[in-house]
Amino acid sequence: MKKYKYYFAAFSAFFIWGFFSLALKPISSYPSLDILFYRVFFSVLTMTAINLVFRKKNIRKNWNDFSAMASKKKRSIALLTLVGAMILASNWFIFIYVVNHVSVKAGSLAYLICPILTTVFAFFLLHEKLSKWQWLAVFISVISCILLSLNHFQDIFYSLVVAATYALYLVSQRKNSELDKFLVLNMQLLFIALLILPFYPKYSGAIPTEPLFYACLFCIVVFFTIIPLFLNLYALKGINSSTVGILMYINPIINFTLAIFYFKEQVTLLQMVSYSLILVSIIVFNKKIIFGKKHKSNTIVEDSKSI
């Protein structure tokens, strides 16, 4: 029963991210790099303020815990945090570019491919085990992605890059579970900000003056960055990367629905069938959780530490 809160956290994160295009599309006239700059800078300022004002005790506790660790463990945490930050920054920039300059459906396809790559990476890198039913769900997902990629080679290229970067981020952060996740996320965003700051004067456009830009940016920072990323990292404390990855299908299903009914992008019968298969794969992968049957777990022992 304790794991249901982790499932709910993962579900909530991807449900929220499913509506990301609503905040991105109104500012699609701005360069993707500018949106990335402001997203990172404002996210860092917001999270740092929250940590310094409301979470001082938590910072001290985590610092004491980190100081007491062996040197090898410290290096491992630092490396996972910094590498994760670089992967996340790459994923953000490419995703913003794809949604604004390729298509919303291409962004959706990326997050259809991502759970498959996450499962494969977790299997080989983390040695996470899956049941036969879960492998069947992955197979169904592969079929649906192949169907969606037909005659859309540009989309599949961009989607693979976006999917691979986020899958690597998920798998890497599954191993990075020693410190408070909100604090780790703050450090990652701070590192990204320091990394891209030297490029801002040369590669940024004029400072935006439209209120719409800052309204959309506020939504992106709070509702599509801090909250879902925290929920995502929190979920990784209690369930494995493969399960978090398969729940990611909630995101593209919502994206696909918005692309059809809100952004009026064209859709084919093949795409409708493919997304229906995705829904089937989610149910099959999580059937023992959905239907509440007791079972002997095949997965690795989970880290049950509270955040």
210 token code pair: 């439209």
Do residues 111 and 255 lie in contact, with contact meaning Cβ atoms separated by under 8 Å? yes
pLDDT of residue 289: 65
Residues 149-207 pLDDT 10s: 776 677 778 888 888 898 899 888 888 878 898 999 999 999 999 989 998 998 888 89
pLDDT of residue 285: 81
* Per-residue DSSP letter, 69: S
Measured CA to CA, the distance from residue 137 to residue 156 in angstroms comes to: 21
Coil, helix or strand at residue 208: coil
Measured CA to CA, the distance from residue 159 to residue 155 in angstroms comes to: 6
- Provide the pLDDT confidence category of residue 302 given band limits of 50, 70 and 90: very low
Measured CA to CA, the distance from residue 188 to residue 197 in angstroms comes to: 14
Residues 111-161 pLDDT 10s: 777 877 888 888 888 888 888 888 898 898 888 878 877 766 777 788 888
Residues 56-77 pLDDT 10s: 999 999 999 999 999 999 999 9
- What average pLDDT is seen over the chain? 84
Q: Select from 106, 107, 94 the least CA-distant residue to 35.
A: 94
List of residues 6+ apart from 95 with CB closer than 8 A: 107, 110, 162
pLDDT of residue 290: 64
Residue 270 has a CB neighbour count (10 Å cut-off) of 12
- Provide the pLDDT confidence category of residue 2 given band limits of 50, 70 and 90: low
Average pLDDT over residues 251-258: 79
- Provide the pLDDT confidence category of residue 295 given band limits of 50, 70 and 90: very low
